[in-house]
């Protein structure tokens, strides 16, 4: 059960990652796609994860402890324009090393349902294929589209990512498919 979610720590370098036997579920996606809001929605808590552009947050792995049983780890968002080239390289290395560390059991990859996949989304998708970690693609902010447009936008994302997987429309705002995601997380962590 997603009962008791608490923020545990932020980690800025790979030598500080939490060494644990607990399962870890990672969230990836570009800055502002809604990863913090996703955590708040599944935790049913408005302010657990800080929503909006907070530069520190975008550089660290942010660990959320669920029921002392497993972790949900929010990874640095890519495409954050205010980051220097050096900072971008550091965060890319941190994400890459963390996802290569065999610690992550599942990844939720968030994209914005309103727009075609960006080059960086495509790059992330290609990375995900190479890690050999099961993942789910979530098209967030579905509340911003009329219901009749959702299918077209999912099709466009599928085309622009060149992906085979189904993409789940989602909204932290109006809770579209929140139950499905919560059930999935529960089954992944049983």
Q: Which residue in this structure is represented by tokens 């997603």?
A: 2
- H or E stretch covering 110: strand 104-112
Minimum CB distance to ligand GDP, residue 7 (Å): 13
Among 171, 181, 185, 189, binds ligand GDP (CB under 6 A): 171
Nearer to ligand GDP, 37 or 91 (CB): 37
* Residue 153 binding ligand GDP, by CB under 6 A: no
141: left (phi over 0), alpha (psi -120 to 50) or beta: left
Which one of 30-38, 61-69, 82-90, 161-169 is the stretch in contact with ligand GDP (CB under 6 A)? 30-38
Candidate list 47, 52, 164, 179; residue touching ligand GDP; CB under 6 A: 52
Burial of 122 (0-12, 13-18, 19+ CB in 10 A): middle
CB 139 within 8 A of CB 170: yes
Q: Is residue 59 within 8 Å of residue 75, measured between CB atoms? A: no
Instruction: Name beta bridge partners: 7.
Output: 64
Residue 147 in the binding site for ligand GDP (CB under 6 A): no
Distance CA 163, CA 68 (A): 35
**Least distance from ligand GDP to the Cβ atom of residue 45, Å:** 13
Site residues for ligand GDP, 75-94, by CB under 6 A, read 77
The Cα–Cα gap between 182 and 43 comes to: 9
Residue 35 engages ligand GDP in binding (rule: CB under 6 A)? yes
Least distance (Å) from ligand GDP to the CB of residue 36?
A: 3
| Interface contacts to ligand GDP, rule CB under 6 A | 29, 31-37, 51-52, 77, 140-141, 143-144, 171-173
């Amino acid at each position: 059960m997603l009962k008791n979610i608490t923020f545990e720590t932020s980690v800025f370098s790979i030598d500080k990652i939490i060494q644990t036997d607990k399962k870890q579920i990672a969230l990836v996606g570009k800055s502002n796609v809604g990863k913090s809001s996703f955590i708040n929605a599944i935790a049913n808590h408005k302010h657990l994860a800080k929503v909006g552009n907070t530069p520190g947050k975008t550089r660290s792995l942010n660990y959320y402890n669920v029921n002392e049983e497993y972790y949900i780890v929010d990874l640095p968002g890519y495409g954050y324009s205010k980051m220097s080239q050096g900072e971008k390289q550091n965060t890319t290395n941190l994400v890459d090393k963390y996802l290569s560390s065999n610690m992550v059991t599942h990844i939720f990859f968030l994209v914005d349902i309103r727009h075609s996949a960006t080059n960086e989304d495509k790059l992330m998708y290609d990375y995900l294929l190479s890690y050999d970690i099961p993942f789910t693609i979530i098209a967030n902010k579905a509340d911003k589209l009329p219901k009749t447009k959702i299918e077209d936008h999912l099709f466009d994302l599928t085309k622009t990512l060149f992906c085979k997987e189904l993409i789940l429309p989602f909204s932290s705002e109006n809770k579209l498919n929140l139950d499905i995601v919560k059930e999935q997380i529960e089954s992944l962590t049983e």
